[in-house]
Amino acid sequence: MVLTTFAAAEPAAPVIAGPADPEPASLVTLSVPGQAAFDRLVASGADLTERVRPQPDGSIQVDAVVTPGQLDGLKSLGATLAPGAPAQARPRATAPKDQIVIERAVWFRSRDGYFLSVEASSNAGQAATLTVTWKGARGSDGQAPMVAYVDAGAYLGHQLSTPVPADGRPRWVTVTSAAGGTAEARVKEWPDGERPDREGRGYQRDFVTRYMTPAQLDERVKSLHRRYPGLTEIITLPYRTNGYRRHAQALIGTPPAAAVVITSAAYGSEGGNDLAVELAGPGAPDRPLRVNVDGKLITVSLATDGSGTPVSTAAQVAAAINATEGAGVTATTYRDDAGGGVMAPAPPAQLSDFLQAPAGVSREPARVLALRIGTHRDGSRTGVLAYAQEHAREWVTPLVTIEAAERLLRNHARDRATRRLLERTDIFIVPTVNPDGANYSFYDFNAQRKNMTNHCPAAQSDPAARNTWGVDVNRNYAVGSLHDGYFGASANCQSGTYAGPAEHSEPESRNVMWLAQTYPNIRFALNVHSYGGYFMWPPGAYKLDGRVTLPRPSEQDLAYFLRSARTIEEAIAAERGTVTWPQQTGPVTDVLYSAAGNSADELWYDHGVYGWDFEVGADLWNPATRRWEGVGFQPPFSEGHAEAMEFASGLIALIGVAADHRER
C-alpha cells in the first residue's frame, strides 16, 4: 500500500531522471513477519515512521519512507508491502494451563466511535493464544483475539483494541487462554484524567491558517513579541545551524567507471553555482591531459593517443583537476568505482547545489529562536520547554507550539485560568529546532527527516545521494546514545536515523540542551513529533542484548508521568474527541521502539526534567474498511489544523500540570 509519493517542488522545465537525480521516495506501509525481522529493520537504519502496529497474526506493520532501491534491500530483510486486507489470526499450538494477568481494561469514546482496549499477559509468554470476551450494557457482548507484543525479544504482553457499538459499553472482560488460563476485570473509562480548566467566556483560539516555513515561524514569534513585550522575550539560541545551503556539484560522464563527480569548495549560493566544467577533445594526436581555469570555466583537455582518440580515464581526470590550483573544486570518481573508464569529450556542465527555494529564502546559517512567555521570567517559576520539528517533515508540529503560545498571550487579559498559568510558569517555545531541514522539506524533498549537514565521505556524496544526507537530530543527544551502545540509531551517514559522528555534533541538538542548562528552572519539556498519536516518556532506549533499558523512573515518578498524561490526554480529547490509545501512552521503550540518543532521555537523566514526547496525528478509523489509517506527515491542511488545535490544548494542559507542580 503506497500512501504518498514524495516529489520535489515542481521543476521549471521537464526533467529526465538521470544518474545525478535521487530516486523518488514513497511513504509505504511495510509488513514484517515478526519481532526478529522488525528488529533487523530498525537495525538497518531504515527511515521508519513512528507508526508501528502489531497484527493479529504476529506480523508487524510499520510506515516507512523508502525509495525503490531501498525497498529491494528491505525485502531481503523479510519486509513486504503490507496488503490491503486485514491479516487473519493463525491458530496456535496449545500449551499447558497458564496464568493470566489483566494489566488494563478500558473503554473509550473517540471521535471515530467507541472502543475497548485490553492489555493482559500470560506466563506462557508470546506463544499464548489469548481471547477477550466482554459483556456490557443492554446485554451486549463480543469476543476478539489478542495480539502478542514483543520488543527486542522481550515479551511485553498481549493487546487488543476493538470497536464496540455505541450503546453496548463493555463493563466486564474475561481473558481466556487456549491453554486454559483465565482472568476477569472490570472495564474502566479512559483517559478519565482530571478535566482541564474550563475556558472562560470569550476565550480566543485558532491562530494557524497554513503550514508555516521557518521564515514564517520566525516572523510570527517576532510579531507576538512586538505585540506582547511585557509578557514575552525572544531568546536567540547560541548555535547557528549550518544553513540551507550545499556545495555545488556536477556528475560528468557515464557511471560507474567513466564518470567524475565535481564538487565546489564554495557553497552554491556563494559562487559554487557559477562554476562549469568542460571536457574538451583536443582534436590532435599525442596530447597530454591538461586542465585550464578561465574565470568560472574549468576546461579539461583530454589526453589523446597517436590517432587523436581521447584516452584519459575518470581517475586520471579527477587527479588532474585536483592537482590544479585555483580550480575551486574537488573531483572524485563515482562512488566506490576506481574510475578506469575512458572519458569522452563533454560540453560545459554547470555546477548546481540543486536547491530550489526562491532566492528570498536565506542560505545563511540560521539562528534558532525561542519565545519565552510568562509574567515572571526571572527563573523563579517552574519552566516548561516545548520544542518542535526536530524532524523536518513533521509540518504540523511547529503549529502546535505557535497555536499554544498565541492562545496564552491573546487570552492573558481576558481569561483568569490563562493568567494563572502565566503567573506560575515560565514557558520556552521553540517552534522549529531544525529550520534547514524544514526548508529542504518545504522546497526540495518533502520526506526530509534529518538536518542538512552532510557527514558522508566522497563515495556517498554524489548528487543523486543528496536526499539521504544529514543527521537525525533526535538521535544526536548524549544519553543512551548509539555511541554508548544503545539500540535504535545508525552509524550509516545515509540512514534515516543517523546519529551523527559524535554526541551533540549538531548545533540543533546543542541548542536544546543549552536551554536546559541555561534555565535550570525548566522542569518540564515536551518534544513534539508526528505522527501516530502517542504520548510518551522515558526510558526511550535500551541495549539490544538483553533489552536493558535506561533506568526506569521510580514508581512514584512513573505514576506521576501517567497521572499527568491522563489529564493532558483529556484535554486533547476535548478538542474533537481524539483519544490517545492507552497502549500508546507510556514509556517510549514500552509503547514504540528504542530510540538511542533522543532528547527526552537526556533531559530526564541529565537534567531531571520531566521529558515527554507527543506524536501528534492519531490514526483515523475508516468505518468502510474497518481499519485504522495513518494520517501521514503532511496531511491536507484541514487535518493538520485539527491536529494543531488538539495538541495545542494538550500542551496548555501540560503547562497546567507544571503550574500545579510542587517539588517533593
The three-point CA angle 402-408-412 to 5° equals 150
Q: How far apart are CA 123 and CA 319, in angstroms?
A: 66
CA 359 remoteness from chain centre = 28
Nearest approach in angstroms of CB 393 to Zn ion is 8
Q: How many residues does the chain have?
A: 664
Q: How far is the CB of 151 from Zn ion (least distance, A)?
A: 19
Q: With beta carbons less than 8 A apart as the criterion, state whether 513 and 611 touch.
A: no
Which range binds Zn ion by CB under 5 A, 227-235, 258-266, 388-396, 579-587? 388-396
Q: How far is the CB of 615 from Zn ion (least distance, A)?
A: 7
Specify the residue, 98 or 643, whose C-beta has the smaller distance to Zn ion.
643
Per CB under 5 A, which region of 58-66, 386-394, 550-558, 587-595 contacts Zn ion?
A: 386-394
Nearest distance, CB of residue 38 and Zn ion, angstroms: 18
Give strand pairing partners of 130. Answer: 177
Cell 552532510 found at: 454
Task: Give the whole-angstrom CA distance, residue 504 versus residue 599.
Answer: 10
300 or 616: CB nearest Zn ion: 616
Q: From 377, 596, 401, select the one nearest 481 (Cα to Cα).
A: 596
Q: How far is the CB of 548 from Zn ion (least distance, A)?
A: 24
CB-wise, 115 or 531, nearer to Zn ion?
531
Q: Strand, helix or coil at 6? A: coil
Residue 386: φ, ψ to 5°: -120, 125
Taking residues 561 to 590 in sequence order and writing x for each that binds Zn ion by CB under 5 A, - otherwise, the string is: ------------------------------
**Which range touches Zn ion (CB under 5 A), out of 147-155, 476-484, 521-529, 655-663?**
521-529
> Scanning residues 45 to 74, which ones bind Zn ion (CB under 5 A)?
none
- Beta-carbon contacts of residue 10 (< 8 Å; ≥ 6 apart): none
- For residue 397, the minimal CB distance to Zn ion (Å) is 8
Work out which of 391, 410, 475, 523 binds Zn ion, going by CB under 5 A.
391
Q: Which of residues 77-106 bind Zn ion (CB under 5 A)?
A: none
What's the closest the beta carbon of residue 391 comes to Zn ion, in angstroms? 3
Q: Which C-beta is closer to Zn ion: that of 110 or that of 497?
A: 497
Cβ-based nearer residue to Zn ion, 64 or 331:
64
Q: Give the interface size with Zn ion as a residue count (CB under 5 A).
A: 2
Nearer to Zn ion, 47 or 406 (CB): 47
Least distance in angstroms from the C-beta of 488 to Zn ion: 13
Write the CA distances from 398 to 66, 161, 226, 371, 512, integer angstroms.
25, 30, 20, 13, 15
Q: Which residues contact 471 (CB under 8 A, 6 or more apart)?
A: 450, 451, 453, 455, 498, 499, 500, 505, 506
Residue whose CB is less far from Zn ion, 450 or 504: 450
Question: Are 517 and 122 spatial neighbours (Cβ–Cβ below 8 Å)?
Answer: no
Nearer to Zn ion, 122 or 441 (CB): 441
407: contact with Zn ion by CB under 5 A: no
Place of cell 564538487: 263
Q: Residue 462 Cβ, how far from Zn ion at the closest point, in Å?
A: 28
Report the C-alpha gap between 639 and 634 in whole angstroms: 9
Nearer to Zn ion, 30 or 164 (CB): 30
Give how far Cα 365 sits from Cα of 242, 246, 263, 447, 558, Å.
5, 11, 20, 22, 40
Give the nearest distance from C-beta 394 to Zn ion in angstroms: 5
Residues 6+ apart with CB under 8 A from 325: none
Stretch that binds Zn ion, among 213-221, 264-272, 390-398, 460-468 (CB under 5 A): 390-398
Nearer to Zn ion, 391 or 450 (CB): 391
Cα dist from 409 to 53, 371, 652, whole Å: 39, 11, 12
Between 220 and 529, name the residue whose CB sits nearer to Zn ion. Answer: 529
Site string for Zn ion, 526-565 (x = CB under 5 A): ---x------------------------------------
Rounded to 5 degrees, φ, ψ at 450 are -95, -175
Using alpha carbons, list the distances in angstroms from residue 531 to 48, 393, 581: 11, 10, 13
What is the C-alpha to C-alpha distance for residues 664 and 661, in angstroms, rounded to an integer?
A: 9
Smallest distance from Zn ion to CB 598, Å:
10
Q: In this chain, which stretch among 124-132, 389-397, 544-552, 580-588 interacts with Zn ion, using CB under 5 A? A: 389-397
Q: Which three cell numbers stand for residue 90?
A: 493463525
The stretch near Zn ion (CB under 5 A) out of 106-114, 174-182, 294-302, 525-533 is: 525-533
Q: Which cell numbers hold the place of 663? A: 517539588
Interface contacts to Zn ion, rule CB under 5 A: 391, 529
